[in-house]
Amino acid sequence: MKKIDIACIIDDDPIFVYGTRTIMEMAQFCESFMVFHNGKDAFENLKRIMLSGEKLPDLILLDLNMPIMDGWQFLDEFIQIPNSKPICIFIVTSSIDPVDMEKAKRYSEINNYLIKPISIEQLQAEIERTA
């Protein structure tokens, strides 16, 4: 299994965040985490990190339906920031709306669209597939 350095979870559901972080820690999936509860906080912090040259996450798990700034709004802003490091972005959502699934295909930055709940095995398989 490929181990990543930093995983970023952008999701307003504390149960999903807790569960996902717990299974990732148990599987020793990554070294550290960044967690943001809305797209605005995520965007502002990741932009600051990118512009200052600090270490960026290798993986972003992005929910679509969040307050303040949703996943789509986050993506539209985030992809405008120049970045030379490839970041694996997975949409992880409860939305089974075909419109959302089709919209995700229009973003070359999105590696896959995953429906909640996700398992560590599914996440590991996706990481291996995109590596």
Sequence ranges of the domains in the chain: 4-130
Task: Give residue 2's pLDDT band: very low, low, confident or very high (50, 70, 90).
Answer: low
Average pLDDT over residues 117-127: 85
Q: What does pTM read for this prediction?
A: 0.94
Q: With 80 as the cut, is the pLDDT of residue 130 above it?
A: no
Q: Which homologous superfamily is 4-130 in?
A: Response regulator (3.40.50.2300)
Does the pLDDT of residue 45 top 80, yes or no? yes
Q: How far apart are CA 66 and CA 81, in angstroms?
A: 21
* pLDDT mean over 5-33: 92
Better pLDDT: 27 or 66: 66
Closest CA to 54 of 34, 24, 35, 30: 34
